[in-house]
Each structure stands twice: as structure tokens, then as C-alpha cells.
Structure 1
Amino acid sequence: MASRARAWRWRLRRSHEARAPRACPAGRSRFGVGERPGVGPAGGHAHTGAVPRGVRAGGRAWGSERATRRFQGRGVRIRAGGLFSFVTGRGTGRSAFLLFGLLLGLPLPLWGEEVPVRFEHVQRTRWGESVYLLGDAPQLGGGDLARARRMVPGANGRWELTVSLPAGLRYRHSFWVRSNDPDRLADPSNGVLAGAERSDVVPGAAVPRSHRLRYTSGWAAPRLRYLFAPGEARDVFFRRIGPGRAPGEWRWEAEASTLLGELAFLPHDGTGSVDRPPDGGFYRTRAVSSELEDGRLRAASTAPGRGRVVRVDGWWSRHTGNARSIFIYLPPGYDRDGRRYPVLYMHDGQNLFGPDALFGGWRVGETCDRLIAEGAIEPFIVVGVANTPSRMQEYVPEADGGEASHYARFLREELKPWIDRSLRTRPGARDTGVCGSSLGGLVSLYLAWEHPDTFGRVASLSGSFWLRGWVQALERSPARPRLRIWLDSGSAGASHDSLEDTFYVRDLLLRKGYVLAGSLEHEVDHGAGHSEPYWRARLGRVFRFLFPPR
């Protein structure tokens, strides 16, 4: 079969002459209606892994797919090194499309299937510089240079990155050489274009997904502007379906199809008035049917109301030798239906819910209620595990001088079995996550990596990866458990919120075969520090990644 595939491999060769590097223009986005500046607070840190000046780079390069990483889609299993590869060099670049699914008689991925796409670029850089990948697709930065993806450095000036993209996606991408200086990382003028911008298509069939939106408004003839694909906005008229809540107000309905994983939209009246959400961006929903009223977006299929929090005090563990409080968030509808729910275990539980929590807390319940109402996440249970005076020992792995293995036994052998007996949970690893910040972020990744049979989803916010004992053990580990991993950091403060330490772990995981925007997501929150308000602000994006709607 392999010889037949090699004999019938389809390669599309295309050459282009690289343009001389030029200064980056003011950051502009092709994702959305019109263009917007891609400017944010300064942040970042010097990258010590960049290739120093003097390393020979350039020449001709050819993309070859001989790796054996596996792509597991919904009902589609294709053995390839990403299905789709780009290799460019200084002077000449070529791209190779490897459509193994077609050649082997397998169905190509449909839209909604994620295809690993590997990008390679050969580029000479100076110390403290890196090559960044920028595209108009949201997974590639959405045209905003501050959100471009830093690539992974390799030998001889080669930079690589594998990103998961939807099958059939048409998109543009380019490579940029940027300084990793923390004061310039979010600066749209920090960048030099390396080669020409390219347009490409991810292999597979793009199948639009339909959404229905109901809208309450006093406009005479409202319209719906939405993103059909990256860089392509469309307009449709709402149709009136009934009276509103008061004279002069009406109920409207519109249908829209999009090639994106979510419907990103803005209602407007056609004369310049636009209904925008509080954050000034787009309304976004993954639900098939949604309702928008007074700026509040909710999925039509979600249970109304709010979740509730149950507190259990004095929970004693024989493994840690202490007692603590447990805070349990039950999503809306839990008390009215008989369904089972996934569970997220979160550390520093006393900071998660109450308004009197440290620095205002995380407000986990409010975030979950809002995202569930919008249809942006699958409803899940949150188990907040309070810390104790032994936090430093419990959250630090033994390789760094702590006793995290005892904390792990408490969670796995005592608390989780009790939760699964007491509540309607889905107890499998794929439906169980763990999340924390700072040392809690470190111990979260430790727990999932060491115990993937218990925890299949993990989020580390501003993880304390400057503790390198366990990180080095992770680097030496040949294992690559099937996990869904979120990593992030800010860029402000004396340590820049461990930004480069987080990049170090990200690159380590990418070299092990994890894929950005697929099994792994990484974000830099420019200008953010190391405290609860910043983690609270990122929490919605974390939950969207960990528990997308089914």
C-alpha cells in the first residue's frame, strides 16, 4: 500500500521569488468586517533559542511528508506527517500537497475535521529574534501581527510549526522575523516580512455549517453581517417573525452558513448603526440556534438560569494529612435533567467563586453561566479544591523538592471517586480536566502528564515552569499521552510572567508531536501580569478550548 501511495502521490509544485524583507506596516486584520489595528500593550521576552547570526540559511528546499504522526479525525484516520507541508527558503520556495486520503481511497476530511498543517521556513536570524507565522485564519493570528505564531527553531536556520486547520480552508500566510523583546512583542511595527505572502487551501471538502439567529430589535429592517470564511464577510436580511416586548419592537430571524467553527456576526441597520457586544468585537456562537436580546446572546437549546455552588468544609485526606474546603459548581439544568456531565478540577478553590475572594477571584460561576447560555461550551461541573498552608509542598513535584505525588493521590484516590459517586459525572479521562495558575498551573500539567488515565484535559495559566526539575523530566520522557493542553502567560512584571519558560514548555510539547490549535493551545496575554484579574479575563478562552460544545 505504501509503495502504491508513493507511486501515485500528487505533488503540486509552485515556485516564487522571495521579495526583499520590508518593514512591517501598521498591524491590520483581514479577519472581520474591514480592518482594525493589531495593537496591544507592550510585552514579551527575549527568546534564547533563536538562531544566532552567521548560521547559513536559505537555498532551495523541498517539502517531504515521510513522518509517521497520525491524524485522528471524526471517522477519518490518515497516516501522514500533517497531510500538508510548506517549506520555503531564501530565494526559492515550494509547497507540497500530500492527499493520502484520496490516493488510498479514504474520504478526505470534511469541514469540522481538523487537518494538521506543517509549515517550514529557512531563515537567518539574529540572537533574540524568531520567525513568526502569520495568516488570515484565526488559528494563524487572524492577520494581527501581535498574535502571530512563533515557530520552533531547529538546526541550520530551519523553523517549523504544525497548526491544526479546518479541512477545505482557503487562507493566506506569511513569515515574519520579529524581535522577542518584551517591550516590543505586541508592537505591530516589530517585524520584517520574510518572503512573499502565499495563498493556499487545506486539503479536504469545505462544508458550510448553518446557524439560525433570533434577534429582538426596534430597527425597521435589520441585517446580519457575518464571517463566511477568513476575510470574507456576508450580509443577509432578517425576516420579521412576530412582535417584541413593547410597541415598536419586533422579533426577527435570520439564517447564515459559515465555514468557520463558529458564527461570528454583527447585527446592523444598513445605515451605519451596529449592535456590538461589550468587548467591541463580534458576537460569537457555536450553537446551531441562538437568540440575541439586549446584548445578551444565548443558545436556544441551553437550560435557562444560573448554576449553583455547593461548599463542603473539612474534607480530610489521609494522603496529604490535612483538611480543606471543596467548592462544587453545578451548571444550569443539573437539578432538572438526568444527564451526566464532564468535570473540571481547579486548584486554589477558595479564589474561584465568591465576590470576597482574593483580588476579586476568578468568578468561575459567572463565566460558566455566560458561556453555557451562549452555547460556547459544553456544560460541565467544576470542583474547586481549596489550598492549605502546605500549598508549596502540594503543588510542587518531587523533582523540584515538593510532594505533589501525595496531592495527586488525594485527588485520584479520594476526592474524584467521591465526586463520581455523589454526582452525575462522566468519569473517564477524556471528560475529566484539571486547571490552575502559577504553581497550580505547574501541578496541573504534572497531574495530567503523570496520570493521563485520570485527567485528559489540562489548563496551565501562568504556570511556574521556571521550576525546571520536573520540566526536564518531561523533556526526557518518551511518552506522549493523548491530552488536550492549554498553556498561557502574560508578559508583564519582573519575570514577564514566565513567558519564555512557558514558550520552552510549548516547544517541548510541539517537538513531541502536539499540534497548535488542535491538541495544544498557547496564548500570550500582552501586558498581563501574574494575578487573579488577568487569569479571570482569560478564563472564557480557556473554557472554550477545554470543553467545546459537543
Structure 2
Amino acid sequence: MKFYCFILLYLFFSMQALGQHTLDSITLSSESLHITKKIWIYKPLLSKSNSKKFSVLYMHDAQNLFDSKKSFSGEWNIDETLDSLHAQTIVVGIEHGNANRINELTPYKNEKYGGGNADAYLEFIVTVVKPYIDSHYSVKVGKNHTGIMGSSLGGLLSYYAILKYPEIFGKAGVFSPAFWINKKEIIDLTEKTKDLDANLYFMCGDHESENMVSDCNEIIHLVNTKRCTCKMLTKKVIIPGGEHNEKLWREQFAKAYLWLF
């Protein structure tokens, strides 16, 4: 009986150790940018040491990251995935602005769809969200420990963030990027960028849209002309049959995370 109880206790605490994390939610605002947003913060509890410092991954569309009830069409299962990997990384999810999403996540105005206010959104992350995380959590603050990731418009913006703030973000997960909406401007900006030393993980499916794979290949080729491929800073993954949805992004998140971090 004692042995049986011991086994139950062992399994209980083992499961707790494997799955423990905290998921905080706060609201931050920037008066100058007229932005107020809910922020979700995943923190692993795998380290017994209070002095443990974590890498940080900033992600867009927080409604779709942790909770299926808040998501539009399914979640990414970020917390469960990172728990299973024993990941030592804090994930900061910034909720999108619903009807204002296209405006927040596009760097340039599109003639048909509008948008073009991503600079204000990124400035909010860099000047408000990141300083809060740096001061309230035990984090590694260097660019080599700071990543940004998103899908679709969030993929476009994550790539843009690397070009806009190379001193802040040293890693980017670029999932199913909507390059089409600002393609000319993104190509021009990439060509003008002298140093591009960030780690970039590009992923898309070949059943997303007519130009998804070709657009990705075009940007990746341009990136690789600016640095030696021997450095292995760029990863390209094309998923056969992959469609433009949370299922694809959820299934590919772990591989991207492991390569980046």
C-alpha cells in the first residue's frame, strides 16, 4: 500500500513538474500611440532557481495562441507545446485589434485594403511592452535571446520587425507571410538593408494561395544574396498540402521554436 501511494505521489509531482507554467494577462497602453492592448505572458516553471533568466519570444494575435475559446478558428497550443518541450522561454502574446488588425500589422498602406500603421504597433512593443517584460520578469535582454513570430499578416510583420529593429530582434518565425499586401515595399526595404544577421525561419504550405510559395522563395532568395548561406541563418520549410490556418501553424510551431531557440 505504501509503495502504491508512493508511485501515485511520484506520478503526480512528475506531471506537475512537466506541465507547470504561469499564464499572466495584463493591459498596457501608450498614450502617444493611442494604443491599449491586452498582453498574455507565458512563463515556464521548470527552473527551481529564482535567478534563472529566460529568452523571450514576442508573438502577434494572442487570441489564437493559448485559448481556443478566445480564438477565431482554433489555437496554436503554445503553452502545452512549450511545456512538452521543457522550454525555457517566456512568450509574450499581444492581442490584435480585431477590425483594426490589418492596420496594425501592415507596414505600408495597400491601395485596396488600406492599413499601414505597423510602425506605431511595433513602437508600442519596443517602447512599452518590452521594457515592462524586461523589468518585471527575469529575462535575457540581448537580441540573440529575443525573437518575434507570427502568421499571415503577423508573419509579414515579424519579417518587417527584423528589418526595422535589428538591434532588438535577432530571431523571427515567419509563418505563411502575407508578403503580397506590401510586396514591392518589402522587397525595396530588404534590398536597402545592409546587414541582415538575424535567424529567420520561413514556413508556409503549398496549398495556401497561388503565390504564397513563390513570394516566400523570392524574399528568401533576396535575403540569402545579402549573406553567406554557409552561416545557416535562414531556414525554409514548405509543407505539402499545408493550408492557411491555425492547424498548420500549430503543427509547425515546435519545429520552428527548436530551430530558433
Question: What TM-score does the superposition give when structure 1 sets the normalisation length?
Answer: 0.42
Cα deviation, residue 470, structure 1: 2.7
State the distance in 1 between where 2:175 and 2:230 align: 16
Verify the 8 A CA contact 1:491 1:524 in the aligned structure 2.
yes
**Could you tell me whether the CA contact under 8 Å between 1:354 and 1:361 is conserved in 2?**
yes
Point out which structure has higher relative CO (alpha carbons under 8 A, 6+ apart): 2
- CA deviation after TM superposition for structure 1 residue 516, in Å: 7.2
Are the structure 2 counterparts of residues 310 and 451 from structure 1 closer, same or farther at C-alpha, using a change threshold of 3 Å?
A: same
Which runs of structure 2 are paired with 1:302-381 in the superposition (5 Å)? 304-312=18-26, 314-333=27-46, 337-356=50-69, 357-372=71-86, 379-381=88-90
Q: Structure 1 pair 445/369, CA: closer, same or farther in 2 (3 Å)? A: same
**Which amino acid in 2 is paired with 1:392?**
I
Give the length in aligned residue pairs: 242
Q: Is the 8 A contact 2:19 2:84 kept in 1?
A: no
C-alpha separation in 2, matches of 1:512 and 1:527 = 31
Paired residue type of 1:446 = Y
Summarize the alignment of residues 175-190 of structure 1 with structure 2, pairs less than 5 Å apart: none
Question: Any gaps of 5 or more consecutive residues in structure 1?
Answer: 1-244, 247-292, 373-377
1:210-243 deviations in Å (ceiling 9; x for gaps): xxxxxxxxxxxxxxxxxxxxxxxxxxxxxxxxxx
Counterpart of 1:341 in structure 2: which amino acid?
F
More helix by share: 2
Name the TM-score, length of structure 2 as normaliser. Answer: 0.85
**1:469 match:** 184
Question: Structure 1 334/319 Cα, relative in aligned 2: closer, same or farther at 3 Å?
Answer: farther
Q: Distance in 1 between matches of 2:214 and 2:230?
A: 17
The equivalent position to 1:440 in structure 2, one of 154, 163, 166, is 154
Preserved CA contact (<8 Å) 1:399 1:469: no
| Pair 1:483 & 2:198 matched | yes
Q: 1 or 2, which has the higher strand percentage?
A: 1
Structure 1 or 2, whichever has the larger Rg, is: 1
3-state secondary structure, aligned to 1:502: helix
Which residue number in structure 1 is paired with residue 164 of structure 2?
450
Q: Is the 8 Å Cα contact of residues 491 and 497 (structure 1) preserved in structure 2?
A: no
**Residue 350 (structure 1) shift:** 1.2
- The aligned amino acid for 2:61 is D
**C-alpha distance in 1 between matches for 2:188 and 2:228:** 17
Deviations 1:26-64 (A, max 9, x none): xxxxxxxxxxxxxxxxxxxxxxxxxxxxxxxxxxxxxxx
Question: What stretches of structure 1 move > 6 A for 4+ residues in a row?
Answer: none
3-state SS, counterpart of residue 41 of structure 2: strand
How far apart are the structure 2 equivalents of 1:485 and 1:425? 21
Which amino acid is the alignment partner of residue 539 of structure 1? Answer: F
Q: CA RMSD, aligned part only?
A: 2.3
Q: Does 1:525 align with 2:234?
A: no
Partners of 1:490 and 1:497 within 8 A in 2: no
SS state at 2:29 partner: strand
Unpaired runs of 5+ residues, structure 2, are 5-10
Q: Distance in 2 between matches of 1:418 and 1:425?
A: 11
Tell me the distance in 2 between the aligned counterparts of 1:336 and 1:506.
Answer: 40
Code of the aligned partner of 2:90: I
* Corresponding residue SS for 1:487: strand
Partner of 1:385 in structure 2? 94
Indicate the SS of the match to 1:460.
Answer: strand
Deviation at 1:318, TM superposition (A): 2.5
SS at structure 1 position matched to 2:163: helix
In the superposition, relative to structure 1, how do residues 441 and 514 fare at CA in structure 2: closer, same or farther (>3 Å)?
farther
